[in-house]
Amino acid sequence: MTSTVPFFLSRIIGAKVFDPERNFVGTVKDLLLSADLTPNQEPIERPVVHGITLKIKNQVNHFSFDNFEVSKKNRKLLVLCNKLEELPENKKEESIPLAALVLDKQIVDLNGRKVVRVNDVRLVTINSITYAIAVDVGIEGLLRRIGIAQPIKFLFSLVKASVPSKFISWDDMEAIDYSNLSIKLNSTYSKLNTLHPSDLADIIEDLDNRSRQSVFLALDEEMAADVLEEMEPKAQIKIIEGMSVEKMADVLEKMPANEAADILDSLEEEKAELLLNEMEAESSSEVRELLEYENYEVGSIMTTEILAYQEETTVEAVFEDLRVNKPEAESLFGFFVVNKNNELIATFSFRDLAVSQPEVRISSFMNDDPIYLYDEQKMDDVAELVSKYNLLTIPVINKNHQLEGMVVIHDVIEDLVNKRRTNKK
């Protein structure tokens, strides 16, 4: 026979536990969720409650949940304890205490891509195994906790309305506040890696200092670099100041040089120097060059990762070069043609390349009257140029007409948005 008992965490916390002879055992303090999600057991991964924290005569201890039964009688929750058996040490370490880590804490809603606060946790016992199904983040949960859900629901039903309730399934959430936990769980934050870096950046900005640091540290370097790039300057500095120089240097190396330069520019001199010295020589010299530009100059937003070829190169050779070097997507926005002295002579687009025969030379389709910017020019007219000529990139040259880098449209937009935002604030 299958028995299904759904119940809320808030109802079981503080509940009295009795043994089969109806003797009082103790009161429930917390439920411990198994953090060990071995996927081979069940088709649907639901975390199982494997432990319970009881207060027995002023002593708080953790016990195995196997010998406990939860049932409902006249809407009241009954907790029966057949045998008190201490939870083994290794299981204790692999636990997520629900009341301490999830209830009333902030979690990440992976679908809504935002940080929300947990009002309650929904659990269910099926065939004497108890699972955590969802977290309650709605108003109904709040009212239930205060103890006025029933009367309010009744009042609402009089006007044929319902109290808004909202649940987030356990798969679609990630707990973030592990500050009360002394050990680090393996599965920590793994679900966050599925988010877009921009969304994750917004979420991390919303967190408190400690969670922000621990979430960021758990990301791999590529993701960390992408996320850091998308953050507001203030949050970037907070992250950097809380991290070790080695780890931070690794992350900065993975970032585009112009973004890394922006970050380093806003740091204190000694800290920036420390980071630059720790970074690999190749990345740091690029960043150092960019740091020399003032932040109103075109050079400060340009990227130095560009694709430049000699005019006699064939289309096939360009494609071969792309296959070998695998440049970032944004590098393909614009291609440049330089002479032996690295002076800019023309530009061409990916479209020109794609529609041409492999043996054709670049010189036959390149645009030899390109729009360009000087690296020390002020940034004011860049947006206008981009809009007027419908450009995705504009090459940047120095005063000797040598190609230094390019300005990409999204960096121009970012600059505009930031300017507007600072005006607004």
Among 208, 280, 321, 381, binds other proteins (CB under 8 A): 208
How would DSSP label each residue in 118-154?
Answer: --EEEEEEETTEEEEEEEE-SHHHHHHHHT-HHHHHH
Q: How far is the CB of 127 from other proteins (least distance, A)?
A: 32
Residue placing its CB nearer to other proteins in the complex, 114 or 419: 114
| Interface with other proteins, residue 394, by CB under 8 A | no
Residue placing its CB nearer to other proteins in the complex, 207 or 318: 207
Residue placing its CB nearer to other proteins in the complex, 119 or 393: 119
Residue placing its CB nearer to other proteins in the complex, 45 or 232: 232
8-state DSSP, 298: G
Which residue, 239, 2, 246, 37, is CA-closest to 127? 2
Q: Are strands 129-136 and 167-169 parallel, antiparallel or unpaired?
A: antiparallel
Contact criterion met (CB below 8 Å) for 197 and 255: no
Backbone φ and ψ for 58, nearest 5 degrees, come out as 65, 10
Candidates 24-32, 234-242, 316-324, 342-350; binding stretch for other proteins (CB under 8 A): 234-242
Candidates 76-84, 114-122, 184-192, 300-308; binding stretch for other proteins (CB under 8 A): 114-122
Tokens representing 176 are: 């973030």
| Interface with other proteins, residue 307, by CB under 8 A | no
| Interface with other proteins, residue 399, by CB under 8 A | no
Q: How far is it, in rounded angstroms, from Cα 315 to Cα 349?
A: 12
Angle between helices 269-278 and 257-266 (to 10 degrees): 150
The owner of tokens 């500050």 is 179
Residue placing its CB nearer to other proteins in the complex, 131 or 297: 297
Q: How far is the CB of 104 from other proteins (least distance, A)?
A: 5
- Three-state secondary structure call for residue 32: strand
Site residues for other proteins, window 151-180 (CB under 8 A)? 179-180
The owner of tokens 């504009």 is 394
Candidates 154-162, 287-295, 339-347, 406-414; binding stretch for other proteins (CB under 8 A): 287-295
8-state DSSP, 54: E
Q: How far is the CB of 420 from other proteins (least distance, A)?
A: 11
Q: How far is it, in rounded angstroms, from Cα 275 to Cα 268?
A: 11
Binding site for other proteins (CB under 8 A): 104-106, 114, 116-119, 137, 142, 145-147, 179-180, 207-210, 212, 234-235, 237-238, 241, 268-269, 272-273, 276, 288, 291-292, 423-425
